[in-house]
Amino acid sequence: MLASIKPLIILEPYMEKPTKKKRNICCIGAGYVGGPTMTMIASKCSEIKITVVDINKNRIDSWNSADLTKLPIYEPGLAEILSKVRNKNLFFSNDVKGAISKADIIFLSVNTPTKIKGIGKGKASNLEYLENSVREIAKYSKGHTIIVEKSTVPVKTAETIELLLNSSCLDNVNNEKKTYSVISNPEFLAEGSAIKDLEKPDRVLIGGKDQNAVKEIKELYLSWVSSEKILTTNLWSSELSKLTANAFLAQRVSSINTISAICEKTGANIAEVSRAIGTDQRIGKNFLNAGPGFGGSCFKKDILSLVYLCIYYRLDEVAKYWENVIAINNWQQDRISRLIIGNLFGTIENKKIAILGFAFKADTNDTRESPAIKISKNLLQEGAKLSIYDPKVEEEKINFELNSCFDDVACSIDKSKWKKFDSIEDTLKGADAVVLLTEWEEFKYLPWSNLFKLLRKPAWIFDTRNILDPNDFCSEGINLWINGIGEYSN
């Protein structure tokens, strides 16, 4: 008689199964974090109803637009996923009161910009929008509600939220029993790859005191994220981890940009140096590309928040250290501006300069803290006339950024001094110089042999992103500067 044969057992990575539970989620804030994050959760958790609310009617109308090219933000892959869940289990609305009153879980994804006046000006975060949202939650929520910090916030913000909620309960005229659990669940999204980051995150961080609430938020992510990638901490560790991650990444950008300047002086090639040090496993290859400096909504703001925290606790040396990361970023943008002016015979008065790219990075239409803003303002202040092209950034947004007041840079720009074009040919026509500021894929393969003819000779091309091939620039009268390599003159 044959011995019984045991079936072959294939061991797979352990993936904790979430407990299916009918939930109502409200997300306050329909911006770069709230919109994509809720779209992903809706696509992975079909049993959950999600409502994203915002007081900005135009923004909500854009999210509800039948034309998916009219979404308020551009993110590769977003429109395709949104089309499958919108108006099924994902809704966009201006009815803040209604969404809050029905929600079991509320994500706070509102903007927390750096203060531009008052105590902490230029460093502390402005929590006005967050406070207003919390007061709305206290007013309209029912029963027990889990409040999830998704916005990037200063350390100890959860304490402020708890205080506001507890204080508001004292004004509860209907004597309704309301309770809350505050959770920190910071986003670690890179614009341009947010959908990929959401679908396959390096980690999901959840911090909180109420372990039942922590478990409930964890169950959301277990629908598509393996349990070993979900980290749980206390509230303060979670809040500080977000600031620290962005500070470390920004530090790498500033560090490599200082080396790019040394490369130009010594004859070294920044691309070769970056590749050499990036192969060291202790360092790694990411965030080692020379450029015009970091931008976006988080890096600068989070470092300033960290600086303010250090000053508050009288850690002055630590504050100065992180302030220097931002100082190097500003220096890089000023260095590029001076280099452009210097190579155009020391003056750019009434000279036409073509700006290729206004978004802070490729694959996004976000212009917040974009290096293009400061460099453009520097050139305009020197009398230049700018022609600007970006495949995703609208003219209205460029106008807003060029006329914004921050860092004491002039904030009133004559509209006749710049123009947004819809084609690269029109942008370059008659230009004395071309400044490449965003690493859009299409800029890497431009037909320079034809575009040369449009420029006024002798012309300069300034590649701040180090993406062009010098072999494409052999025409007489064309001069090329590549960040971290130097000048190629003909």
From residue 34, alpha-carbon distances to 14, 19, 366, 407 in Å are 29, 24, 15, 28
The residue to which tokens 């992510």 are assigned: 221
Which residues are part of the catalytic machinery?
A: 298
What is the rounded average pLDDT of the residues 124-129? Answer: 87
What is the rounded average pLDDT of the residues 408-436? Answer: 88
Question: CA-to-CA distance for 264 and 489, rounded, in angstroms?
Answer: 14
Q: Which residues contact 178 (CB under 8 A, 6 or more apart)?
A: 138, 141, 142, 143, 144, 145, 169, 172
pLDDT of 11 strictly over 50: no
Number of Cβ atoms within 10 Å of the Cβ of 200: 10
- pLDDT tens for 53-90 read 999 999 999 999 999 999 999 999 999 999 999 999 99
Number of Cβ atoms within 10 Å of the Cβ of 438: 30
Q: Which residues contact 99 (CB under 8 A, 6 or more apart)?
A: 26, 51, 53, 93
What is the rounded average pLDDT of the residues 34-40? Answer: 98
**Widest CA span of the chain, in angstroms?**
98
**Strand-pair partners of 184:** 149, 207
- pLDDT tens for 340-388 read 999 999 999 999 999 999 999 999 999 999 999 999 999 999 999 999 9
Question: CA-to-CA distance for 89 and 81, rounded, in angstroms?
Answer: 12
% of the chain exceeding 70 in pLDDT: 91
Position 216 scores a pLDDT of 96
Position 199 scores a pLDDT of 97
Question: CA-to-CA distance for 183 and 167, rounded, in angstroms?
Answer: 18
Contact by Cβ (8 Å): 402, 417:
no
Tokens of 421: 């074009």
Is the preceding peptide bond at 458 cis, omega within 30 degrees of 0? yes
Helices (H), 141-210: 157-169, 194-199
Question: CA-to-CA distance for 329 and 390, rounded, in angstroms?
Answer: 22
- pLDDT tens for 216-234 read 999 999 999 999 999 999 9
- pLDDT tens for 274-321 read 999 999 999 999 999 999 999 998 999 999 999 999 999 999 999 999
Contact by Cβ (8 Å): 350, 382:
no
For residue 113, name the pLDDT band (cuts at 50, 70, 90).
confident
Identify which of 396, 468, 413 has the alpha carbon closest to the alpha carbon of residue 435.
Answer: 468
Position 9 scores a pLDDT of 35
Position 287 scores a pLDDT of 93
Identify which of 69, 326, 356, 78 has the alpha carbon closest to the alpha carbon of residue 191.
Answer: 78
Q: Residue 313 phi/psi, 5° resolution?
A: -90, 10
The dihedral sign for the CA sequence 46, 213, 126, 315 = negative
Q: Which of the pair, 406 or 461, is modelled with greater confidence?
A: 461
Q: Considering the entire predicted model, what is its pTM?
A: 0.89
Q: Which residues contact 220 (CB under 8 A, 6 or more apart)?
A: 18, 41, 45, 48, 105
- pLDDT tens for 231-280 read 999 999 999 999 999 999 999 999 999 999 999 999 999 999 999 999 99
Helices (H), 128-234: 128-140, 157-169, 194-199, 211-221
pLDDT of 1 strictly over 50: no
